[in-house]
Structure 1
Amino acid sequence: MLNTQVKDFMQRKLPNITPDTEMTTAIAELQKFKLLGAPVFDKDKCLVGFISEQELLKPLTQSSYFCDGMVKVSQLMQTEVVTVSGDTNIIELAEQMQPGKPKNYPVVDGTKVIGMISRADVLKALYDNYISCQTH
């Protein structure tokens, strides 16, 4: 059984997105970091929400939002965020990542966000384990 933890495959570098960040800036940050979503932090670096491509797509298709570049992340973000511990076994997390469930999870150590893990990261971990088993 794979004994790899989330912290071994999580993304450690995250954009600094706050509730006051403009929607267009958030999109640019997600593209810069090659992410589909990111945690939203308050001024004390506490997790207050999550913004994903799903929340950002809808406003871009509505002319009232599109013309108003001042839309803030706070107007779009999810405020109920599912997190995962860095010590969580990667298989346990993979079992939770079913259709209709979050695709990205902020990784926490206590109350501090230490990274983020996505379905793609979990898939890489499981694939790496599979390849390792095939070569031994």
Structure 2
Amino acid sequence: MTVGPIDQLVVTDPLILSADMPIRRAAAQMAEADTAAAPVTDDSGTLLGVLTQKDCFRPALQASYYQEWTGRVSDFMSADPVTLPLGTDLVTAAEAFLDHPYRSFPVLDADRLAGMLRREDVFRALIQAG
């Protein structure tokens, strides 16, 4: 099996959220973009965390009980996400998906967000590689 780096698989234009965004707006944007996870960055592109669909379940359920969405992205995001560096090889990325329950990982170029790597794209690449 010939495998290269994940760089071609990285979604370089993911939905990006801010930590102070209302959680309802973030959840709605994620649903509209049909994304399982979205990176949360500051104005300079530094990764602060990741918000997943699962993270949005608590505020959504609370809203169904109390008829009101409350909170900000920073209240629900994972603040210390597992990341992969740009240039990671395909097998190492696949192993990361085996080791963690995530459907996507933020990919960093130095300390800046380069994009998101989706499990489904790594799976397809493994199948194509042989």
SS of residue matched to 1:68? coil
Distance 1:84 1:65, change over 3 A: farther
Contact kept? 2:63, 2:69, Cα under 8 Å: no
Cα separation, 2, equivalents of 1:77 and 1:6: 25
TM-score (norm 1): 0.84
TM-score by length of 2: 0.88
**1:68 counterpart residue number:** 68
Say if 1:120 and 1:93 are closer, same or farther in 2 by CA, change over 3 A. same
Percent identity over the alignment is 25
Aligned twin of 1:58: 58
Identify unmatched segments of 5+ residues in structure 1: 131-136
SS at match of 2:95: helix
Aligned counterparts of 1:52 and 1:2: Cα–Cα separation in 2: 32
Count how many residue pairs are aligned between Structure 1 and Structure 2. Answer: 130
Task: State the shift of 1:23 in Å.
Answer: 1.3
Q: Residues of 2 paired with 1:37 and 1:65: CA distance? A: 25
What RMSD, in angstroms, separates the aligned Cα atoms of the two structures? Answer: 1.9
State the shift of 1:55 in Å.
0.5
Structure ID, larger Rg: 1
